[in-house]
């Protein structure tokens, strides 16, 4: 079942205080959540804390449930069971209010840009929030190396350029959480480098970042923490350095060593 859309009248609120003593430093806390499609459980995560101001790489084979988990984290979908808490509040069935939803932004693998200029795309989120500032748009475009194409029509951009605009559109609103779903899949090294540099900058600015990637080298470059999903289950999570140096679970060892075929 899809959550009510932002701004919908069904988007009644839904935040409840977390019990005292819950980890204050977590942006998200997941407790026994599950999600199924047509009766098939595709995600069943017992416990996962996503630390505030850190970058988590979400790893796993195709079909493991990574994008499904991201859709729960950006409140596009709701878990059927269990608890998802965000910033210390348990999110109930209707999803959080619009101002909370707007703290979380997502960059998808295939960017869907508005049929307007590059500038218009980056300005859109600020206008929506009544925070439009010329300098903010200019600076976001500069950050992703797209200033020279500011007035180009978004539909004329190459895949790499479009992805850089999608990232500028996300960072310009200074989100509390940035979710990235395979943001550099199929991009050339130059575009990958630009995108990774922006993620690195955000990482040092206190933004909570969750990046889904199939590139283990990218995960090692960017992530503070790692979570490995296989068949909808969380196999292992922890600091990136430990995960890659000494994975505990046999399946993690196979995954890191490239012995897991998928
Ligand atoms: N809207 C949907 N309806 C039915 N099944 C779905 C839907 N979305 C996802 N699934 C199924 O849920 C499972 C997990 O999908 P998900 O997209 O989360 O995987 P993923 O880990 O992101 O994979 P990939 O690395 O290929 O992107 C898959 O088996 C997929 O077919
Ligand atoms: Mg996916």
What is the rounded distance in angstroms from the CA atom of residue 9 to the CA atom of residue 21?
33
Question: In the chain, where does DSSP find H-type helix?
Answer: 66-73, 98-101, 118-128, 134-143, 159-171, 189-203, 216-222, 240-245, 250-256
This prediction's pTM = 0.90
Instruction: Give the model's pLDDT for residue 253.
Output: 95
Ligand 1 mutation pick, 41, 42, 76, max ligand atoms within 8 A of CB: 42
Is any atom of ligand 1 closer than 6 Å to the C-beta of 185? no
Is any atom of ligand 1 closer than 6 Å to the C-beta of 231? no
Looking at the CA of 108, which ligand is closest?
A: 2
What is the rounded distance in angstroms from the CA atom of residue 52 to the CA atom of residue 221?
19
Is any atom of ligand 1 closer than 6 Å to the C-beta of 227? no
Nearest protein CA to atom 28 of ligand 1, as residue: 63
Degrees, nearest 5: CA angle 128-156-191: 85
Nearest protein CA to atom 30 of ligand 1, as residue: 63
Is any atom of ligand 1 closer than 6 Å to the C-beta of 138? no
Instruction: Give the model's pLDDT for residue 17.
Output: 42
Nearest protein CA to atom 29 of ligand 1, as residue: 63
Is any atom of ligand 1 closer than 6 Å to the C-beta of 68? yes
Centroid of ligand 2 to alpha carbon of 58 (angstroms): 10
What is the rounded distance in angstroms from the CA atom of residue 259 to the CA atom of residue 261?
6
Instruction: Give the model's pLDDT for residue 260.
Output: 75
Pairing relationship of beta strands 89-91 and 104-107 according to DSSP bridges: unpaired
**Count of other CB atoms within 10 angstroms of residue 211:** 27
Q: Collect all residues with Cβ–Cβ distance below 8 Å to 24 and sequence separation of at least 6.
A: 88
Instruction: Give the model's pLDDT for residue 4.
Output: 33
Centroid of ligand 1 to alpha carbon of 179 (angstroms): 17
Contact 77, 35 (CB under 8 A): yes
If we measure between CA atoms, which residue out of 84, 82, 85, 87 comes closest to residue 24? 87
What is the residue-level pLDDT of the chain in tens, covering all 262 positions? 333 333 333 333 333 444 444 445 899 999 999 999 999 999 999 999 999 999 999 999 999 999 999 999 999 999 999 999 999 999 988 899 999 999 999 999 889 999 999 999 999 999 999 999 999 999 999 999 999 999 999 999 999 999 999 999 999 999 999 999 999 998 999 999 999 999 999 999 999 999 999 999 999 999 999 999 999 999 999 999 999 999 999 999 999 998 876 6
Centroid of ligand 1 to alpha carbon of 10 (angstroms): 26
Is any atom of ligand 1 closer than 6 Å to the C-beta of 66? yes
DSSP H or E stretch at residue 238: strand 233-239
Q: What is the DSSP letter of 227?
A: E
Instruction: Give the model's pLDDT for residue 261.
Output: 65
Is any atom of ligand 1 closer than 6 Å to the C-beta of 117? no
Is any atom of ligand 1 closer than 6 Å to the C-beta of 62? yes
Is any atom of ligand 1 closer than 6 Å to the C-beta of 37? yes
């Amino acid at each position: 079942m899809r959550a009510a859309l932002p701004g919908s009248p069904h988007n009644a609120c839904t935040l409840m205080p977390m019990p005292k003593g819950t980890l204050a430093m977590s942006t998200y806390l997941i407790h026994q959540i599950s999600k199924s499609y047509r009766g098939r459980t595709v995600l069943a995560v017992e416990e996962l804390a996503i630390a505030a101001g850190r970058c988590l790489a979400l790893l796993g084979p195709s079909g493991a449930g990574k994008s499904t988990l991201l859709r729960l984290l950006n409140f596009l979908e709701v878990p059927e069971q269990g608890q998802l808490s965000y910033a210390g509040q348990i999110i109930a069935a209707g999803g959080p209010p619009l101002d909370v939803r707007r703290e979380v932004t997502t960059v998808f693998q295939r960017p869907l840009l508005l049929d307007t200029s590059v500038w218009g795309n980056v300005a859109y989120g600020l206008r929506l929030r009544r925070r439009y500032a010329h300098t903010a748009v200019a600076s976001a475009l500069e950050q992703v190396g797209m200033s020279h194409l500011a007035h180009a029509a978004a539909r004329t951009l190459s895949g790499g350029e479009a992805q850089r605009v999608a990232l500028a559109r996300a960072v310009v609103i200074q989100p509390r959480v940035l979710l990235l779903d395979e943001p550099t899949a199929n991009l050339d090294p130059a575009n990958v480098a630009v995108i990774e540099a922006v993620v690195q900058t955000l990482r040092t600015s206190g933004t909570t970042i969750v990046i889904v990637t199939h590139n283990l080298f990218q995960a090692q470059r960017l992530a503070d923490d790692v979570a490995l999903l296989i068949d909808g289950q969380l196999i292992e999570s922890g600091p990136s350095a430990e995960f890659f140096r000494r994975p505990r679970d046999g399946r993690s060892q196979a995954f890191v060593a490239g012995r897991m075929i998928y």
